[in-house]
Amino acid sequence: DAMVIQNPRYQVTQFGKPVTLSCSQTLNHNVMYWYQQKSSQAPKLLFHYYDKDFNNEADTPDNFQSRRPNTSFCFLDIRSPGLGDAAMYLCATSTSGFNEKLFFGSGTQLSVL
């Protein structure tokens, strides 16, 4: 089945230790998104790729970076995780154009010790 896959499901890192979360898709969608969701809060858009064009949200901290080496894969790098970065990180994809719905991966729950 075509889908969006996130690995790992749970990630534990240490304060200040770089961590990378991965996302892959078999839907061949040209738009990929990274959202951060903390408990009982709205998913917050960090950035998205429209094909290879990177679009960063104005309030996304510099500590967060992303890479999209090809259509299928997208990575979220957190250079120096702080305790406040503990959250669920959601990857989503969509086609471009008007009114396109998001397809979500299962998410990666990040803990920072």
Partner 1 sequence: QKEVEQNSGPLSVPEGAIASLNCTYSDRGSQSFFWYRQYSGKSPELIMFIYSNGDKEDGRFTAQLNKASQYVSLLIRDSQPSDSATYLCAVDDNNDMRFGAGTRLTVKP
- Shortest CB 16 distance to partner 1, Å: 27
Buried b (16+ CB within 10 A) or exposed e, 44-72: ebbbbbeeeeeeeeeebeeebbbebeebb
Stretch in the footprint of partner 1 (CB under 8 A) among 18-26, 69-77, 79-87, 92-100: 92-100
Tell me if 70 contacts partner 1 by CB under 8 A. Answer: no
Q: Do the strands 10-13 and 108-112 form a parallel or antiparallel pair, or are they unpaired?
A: parallel
Decide if residue 83 touches partner 1 (CB under 8 A): no
For 97, the token pair is 């154009």
| Segment interacting with partner 1 (CB under 8 A) among 13-21, 60-68, 79-87, 88-96 | 88-96
Region of 16-24, 62-70, 71-79, 89-97 interacting with partner 1 (CB under 8 A): 89-97
Alpha carbon 71 to chain centroid distance? 14
> How many residues bind partner 1, per CB under 8 A?
25
